[in-house]
Structure 1
Amino acid sequence: MTAPVFTRTHASLGEFALRPVDPAGDAELLHGWVTHPKAVYWMMQDADLAAVEKEFARIDADPYHDAFLGLHNGVPAFLMERYDPAHREVTEVHEAAPGDVGMHFLTAPTDTPVHGFTLAVITTVMDMLFAEPGNQRVVVEPAVQNTAVHALNKAVGFEIVRTVTLPKGEAYLSTCTRGQFLAARGENPC
């Protein structure tokens, strides 16, 4: 198993860590996540195990796209994808600036939700992205209907730039600068 490349501890929830996805080794786990009804916006509802493995192998081979498995206290609990918006996802609707980085995240389905968990996940993801000094702004494009993620995005500092049409449908192109993220956390961005 690959070692984590990023780790954060949240006071009341414990340790959150991210490691690169192993397309073959993680395919079965990820198949259960991305085909779950909760993951409808990942558009893989009908994917079989081979298709999920193939998709993550494609991401693994792409120099502009990465996938990370998130661990909560050592147990797989979320997925994060990082991409270069100058080359992937939003090239037709967003003029990427130097320092832009794109992101998607998904928490694992659960029958026992933990209060504050998903906020801790997105905060960990943003911490990881902004740990890279060159990353100055995070770009996301969640589906307009995904109200839960819009609330989370707002909580960590994202602003909706505009509604855009992507192959997956209508989405809110949203951005969050390092300063906006720090301000949302109550930290001085200067």
Structure 2
Amino acid sequence: MTDVYVHEESVDGFGTVRIRPLDPHADAEVVHRWAAEERAVFWGMNGLSRDQVAGIYAHMDTLDTHHAFLLLKDGTPAVLLQTYEPEADRVSECYEVQGGDLGIHVLLAPAGPDGARPGWSAVLLGVIASYVLKGLERRRIVVDPDVRNEKAIARFLRQGFEAGPVVVLPEIDVPDVYLPEKKAQLAFLRREVAFPE
């Protein structure tokens, strides 16, 4: 497992959040456990085995345009983050990609035995925004949650994302990847909105 962190942020009253590349095999157990839960149905991995999940991320690890990361809060896995270049993704068929865009997918760790964690997702999305918009020097974050995932859409909008169009992402069926058609709500977070001067 890698100890190379690409981003680190200490958040007052919350803790230290570090981001490191996902290790497809060493992290497969935690990712499989999160993705197998009913709440993660929109992640698209319900019903997959641990080895299938590891295989998906091992394949992603070979790509230059799609990457996976694990966010750790005080050393404990808290978020699975995927980033992608929109022009190399099916989303590019649905909107006009701008220079400086970066797409993300976010899967939060399940709540612990104590239940809900107020403010948790806002802080973690803020760290992700800081990494992408400042650390990677991108101009805009693009998200494409399933239109039925009202909770995620509301969370993004509260975070400052602007709603874009509802689109239909086309089915992808190639040797190493299968993605079913998806009706998605596009939303965008511009750097100047997230981090006004």
What TM-score, normalized by structure 2, do the two folds share? 0.88
Q: Which runs of 5+ in 1 are unaligned?
A: 183-188
| In the alignment, structure 1 residue 173 sits paired with structure 2 residue 176 | no
Evaluate the alpha carbon distance shift between residue 134 and residue 120 of structure 1 in structure 2; reply closer, same or farther with a 3 A threshold.
closer
Task: Please state whether the residue corresponding to 2:93 is helix, strand or coil.
Answer: coil
Percent identical pairs in the alignment equals 32
| In the alignment, structure 1 residue 97 sits paired with structure 2 residue 110 | no
Aligned counterparts of 1:152 and 1:88: Cα–Cα separation in 2: 23
Task: Please state whether the residue corresponding to 1:61 is helix, strand or coil.
Answer: coil
Contact 1:86 1:95 in 2 (8 A): no
Q: Which runs of 5+ in 2 are unaligned?
A: 172-180
Give the Å deviation of 1:133: 5.4
Aligned counterparts of 1:132 and 1:73: Cα–Cα separation in 2: 20
Aligned counterparts of 1:133 and 1:90: Cα–Cα separation in 2: 20
Task: Please state whether the residue corresponding to 2:86 is helix, strand or coil.
Answer: coil
Q: Which residue of 1 aligns with 2:34?
A: 33
Aligned counterparts of 2:129 and 2:30: Cα–Cα separation in 1: 23
Counterpart code for 2:39: K
Evaluate the alpha carbon distance shift between residue 70 and residue 89 of structure 1 in structure 2; reply closer, same or farther with a 3 A threshold.
farther
Q: Which residue of 1 aligns with 2:72?
A: 71
What do residues 42-81 of structure 1 show as CA deviations (whole Å, max 9, x unaligned)? 1110111111001101111110001001101111111100
Aligned counterparts of 1:176 and 1:97: Cα–Cα separation in 2: 13
Counterpart code for 1:45: N
Contact 1:164 1:172 in 2 (8 A): yes
Q: Which residue of 142, 145, 149 corresponds with 1:146?
A: 149
What do residues 136-178 of structure 1 show as CA deviations (whole Å, max 9, x unaligned)? 0111101111122122211221111100012442111111110
Contact 1:122 1:152 in 2 (8 A): no
| In the alignment, structure 1 residue 157 sits paired with structure 2 residue 160 | yes
Aligned counterparts of 2:78 and 2:72: Cα–Cα separation in 1: 5
Q: Which residue of 2 aligns with 1:44?
A: 45
What do residues 63-102 of structure 1 show as CA deviations (whole Å, max 9, x unaligned)? 0001001101111111100100010140210221110000
RMSD of the TM alignment (CA)?
1.3
- Stretches (4+) displaced over 4 A: none
Task: Please state whether the residue corresponding to 2:193 is helix, strand or coil.
Answer: helix
| In the alignment, structure 1 residue 123 sits paired with structure 2 residue 136 | no
What TM-score, normalized by structure 1, do the two folds share? 0.92
Aligned counterparts of 1:163 and 1:169: Cα–Cα separation in 2: 10
Q: Which residue of 2 aligns with 1:186?
A: none
